[in-house]
């Protein structure tokens, strides 16, 4: 009853605030004012029920508290820890992905290729944000470094995709280290502001240094990847890049998973939880942070090379802050530190806007509302990362232990 009264107050207050916009309409041709009282009534009823539902779920969340264990988390954990189930699910998904190019058109393949690229980008940013806890808002800068590396080397020297691919990743990693040095002492909002500035600096340099990057005009006629020296048609090239992205995604998932369970991965998790305690336990903060920035940037650089080869045209407008925000949203929406979560977040963020183009006028409104709801009711993401638990048992095989 209490939250019903609060919802009623919210509805009345919202009706009062929106009264000039919702009710009053001025007809400038006939010089009359049209009073649309029914709109205010509809607005009040809608806000009342939305507030009721909102408060109901908030109350359920507070009652459940930390004891709540969702089926999704248990299901994900059971798949990840059961080798047979994990191989079965992974094999089924891989089989579907391999069959898709032969049963659908090039438009669908292009969308899936972009989704796979954002999965790899999300996993790269997940190293920096999800594992190390370093909020990076300029991640698109490393993406741009990889793309322009291939575009410039291909345009001026004719270097192929496969030669430039490791160069683009290495250069992006170097830029990641260069960014990491000035921000070693920063954390939280200050780190986010500096990385945001770094991303904008890279974009502005590319946009204004015409002799180097050709400015806003961009670079066109970039070569697509070849298959053992053979030139491919547009449709063949689309399918080829799609299968390349499947291989990249599998390799990235394997690499990040192994990295997460390695010594440096444990150091990143310790750094994320408590930086001071991490240093006190003998973990080198400088090396740990620089490794996170370098490895995350390397994956962005690799995807930048793929992006330039796929589109055959790049310009600075492709590397704005919005791209960094989308990649960060993939990580936050899916679940920071969770590999299955990042994959699911990338598929939602990339595929849904494409398939909901009929509601293009409301896409950003729905996106913003969904993010607010996620942060309130499930801040850990769609697929939260579960903590591994280790238990120590004394051995008693020869009578020396466990007594």
CB 319 within 8 A of CB 141: yes
Helix axis angle, 161-180 to 285-311, nearest 10°: 140
- Do residues 350 and 118 make contact, with C-beta atoms less than 8 angstroms apart? yes
Mean local confidence (pLDDT), 370-377: 74
189 domain residue, yes or no: yes
Q: Are residues 253 and 352 in the same domain?
A: yes
229 and 170 fall within a common domain: yes
Contact 313, 188 (CB under 8 A): no
**Alpha helix locations (H) across 209-284?**
210-213, 234-260, 263-273, 275-280
Average pLDDT, the chain: 82
DSSP state of 227: B
Number of domains in the chain: 2
pLDDT band of 124, cuts 50, 70, 90? very high
Report d(CA 289, CA 267) in Å as an integer.
Answer: 10
Give me the pLDDT at residue 42, please. 83
Look at residue 244 in the predicted model and tell me its pLDDT.
93
Instruction: Determine phi and psi for 194, rounding to 5 degrees.
Output: -65, -45
- Residue 182: name the closest of 106, 289, 288 by CA: 289
> Taking 50 as the threshold, does the pLDDT of residue 77 lie above it?
yes
- For residues 37 and 144, membership in a common domain is answered with no
Instruction: Say which residues have a Cβ less than 8 Å from residue 110's Cβ, sequence separation at least 6.
Output: 238
Same domain, 26 and 116: no
Residue 221 maps to a domain: yes
Region 348-374: what's the mean pLDDT?
Answer: 74
Average pLDDT over residues 221-241: 85
Identify the pLDDT of residue 114: 93
Where residue 112 falls among pLDDT bands split at 50, 70, 90?
Answer: very high
- CATH of residue 115: 1.10.3470
Query: What's the confidence (pLDDT) of residue 401?
Result: 44
Specify whether 135 is located in the same domain as 236.
yes
Tell me, yes or no, whether 101 and 57 share the same domain.
no
Identify the domain containing residue 275 by its residue range: 97-377
- Tell me which residue of 172, 143, 126, 142 sits closest to 268, measured CA to CA: 126
Query: What is residue 71's predicted lDDT score, i.e. its pLDDT?
Result: 44
pLDDT (mean) for 339-347: 87
Say if 401 falls within a structural domain: no
**Interior angle at CA 219, CA 174 and CA 199, nearest 5:** 40
Residues 181 and 48 in one domain: no
pLDDT of 143-158, one tens digit each? 999 999 999 999 888 8
CB-CB contact of 272 with 132 (8 Å): yes
In tens, the pLDDT along 17-75 reads 888 877 888 777 778 888 888 888 888 888 888 777 777 777 766 665 544 444 444 55
Whether residue 385 is contained in a domain is answered as: no
Residues 318 and 184 in one domain: yes
Within a domain: 87: no
Residues 6+ apart with CB under 8 A from 276: none
Between residues 81 and 351, which one has the greater pLDDT?
351
Is pLDDT larger for residue 393 or for residue 119?
Answer: 119
Higher pLDDT, 182 or 313: 313
The answer to whether residues 385 and 338 touch, using CB atoms and an 8 Å cutoff, is: yes
Residue 81 predicted with pLDDT over 70: no
The pLDDT score that the predictor gives to residue 307 is 94
In this prediction, residue 96 carries a pLDDT of: 85
- Whether 91 maps to a domain, the answer reads no
Residue with tokens 């970039």: 222
Contact between 22 and 40 under an 8 Å Cβ cutoff? The reply is yes
Per-residue model confidence as pLDDT tens digits over 239-253: 999 999 999 999 999
pLDDT-above-90 percentage for the chain? 24
Assign 278 a pLDDT band (cuts: 50, 70, 90): confident
Looking at the fold, whether 225 and 327 belong to one and the same domain comes out as: yes
Tell me: do 293 and 190 sit in the same domain.
yes
Q: Classify 82 in phi/psi space as left (phi over 0), alpha (psi -120 to 50) or beta.
A: beta
Q: Are 349 and 329 in contact (CB under 8 A)?
A: yes
Which residue(s) pair with 26 in the sheet?
33
DSSP calls for 296-319 = HHHHHHHHHHHHHHHHS-B-GGGS
Nearest to 205 by CA among 192, 214, 195, 193: 214
Q: Are residues 215 and 326 in the same domain?
A: yes
Q: Using DSSP, state whether 27 is helix, strand or coil.
A: strand
- Most confident segment among 29-33, 67-71, 134-138, 171-175: 171-175
Q: pLDDT for 285-299, tens place per residue?
A: 888 888 999 999 999
Q: Please say whether the beta carbons of 23 and 39 come within 8 A.
A: yes
* Integer CA distances (angstroms), 271 to 122, 128, 182, 266, 336, in order: 20, 11, 18, 9, 15
Cα–Cα separations (whole angstroms), residue 60 to 63, 64, 333, 369:
5, 6, 21, 20
C-alpha of 201 from chain center: 22
**pLDDT higher than 80, residue 360:** no
In a domain, residue 369? The reply is yes
pLDDT score recorded for residue 131: 86
Residues 117, 15 within the same domain: no
The 10 Å Cβ neighbour count of residue 213 is 21
393 is a domain residue: no
Least confident of 81-85, 129-133, 204-208: 81-85
More confident: 244 or 371 = 244
Distance from the Cα of residue 367 to its chain's centroid: 14
d(Cα 218, Cα 203) in Å, to the nearest integer? 12
């Amino acid at each position: 009853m209490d939250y019903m009264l609060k919802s009623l107050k919210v509805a009345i207050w919202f009706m009062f605030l929106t009264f000039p916009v919702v009710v009053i309409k001025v007809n400038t041709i006939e010089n009359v004012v049209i009073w649309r009282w029914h709109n205010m009534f509809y607005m009040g009823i809608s806000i009342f029920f939305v507030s009721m539902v909102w408060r109901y779920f908030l109350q359920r969340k507070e009652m459940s508290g930390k004891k709540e264990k969702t089926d999704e988390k248990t299901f994900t954990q059971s798949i990840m820890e059961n080798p047979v189930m994990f191989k079965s699910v992974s094999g089924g998904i891989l089989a579907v992905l391999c069959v898709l190019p032969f049963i659908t058109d090039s438009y669908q393949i292009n969308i899936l290729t972009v989704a796979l690229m954002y999965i790899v980008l999300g996993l790269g940013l997940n190293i920096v944000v999800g594992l190390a806890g370093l909020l990076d808002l300029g991640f698109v800068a490393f993406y741009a470094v990889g793309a322009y590396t291939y575009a410039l080397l291909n345009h001026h020297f004719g270097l192929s995709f496969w030669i430039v691919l490791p160069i683009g990743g290495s250069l992006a990693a170097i830029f990641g280290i260069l960014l990491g040095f000035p921000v070693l002492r920063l954390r939280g909002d200050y780190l986010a502001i500096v990385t945001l500035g770094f991303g904008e600096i890279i974009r502005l340099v590319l946009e204004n240094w015409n002799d180097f990057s050709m400015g806003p005009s961009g670079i066109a006629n970039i070569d697509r990847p070849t298959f053992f020296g053979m030139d491919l048609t547009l449709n063949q090239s689309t399918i080829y890049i799609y299968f390349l992205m499947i291989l990249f995604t599998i390799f990235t998932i394997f690499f990040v998973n192994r990295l997460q369970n390695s010594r440096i991965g444990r150091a990143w998790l310790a750094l994320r939880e408590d930086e001071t305690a991490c240093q006190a336990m003998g973990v080198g903060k400088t090396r740990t942070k620089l490794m996170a920035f370098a490895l995350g940037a390397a994956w962005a650089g690799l995807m930048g090379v793929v992006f330039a080869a796929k589109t055959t045209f790049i310009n600075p407008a492709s590397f704005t802050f919005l791209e960094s925000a989308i990649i960060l949203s993939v990580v936050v929406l899916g679940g920071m530190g969770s590999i299955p979560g990042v994959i699911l977040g990338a598929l939602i963020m990339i595929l849904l806007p494409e398939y909901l183009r009929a509601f293009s006028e409301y896409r950003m409104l729905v996106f913003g509302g969904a993010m607010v709801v996620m942060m309130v009711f499930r801040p850990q993401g769609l697929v939260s990362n579960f903590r591994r638990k280790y238990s120590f048992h004394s051995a008693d095989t020869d009578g020396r232990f466990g007594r």
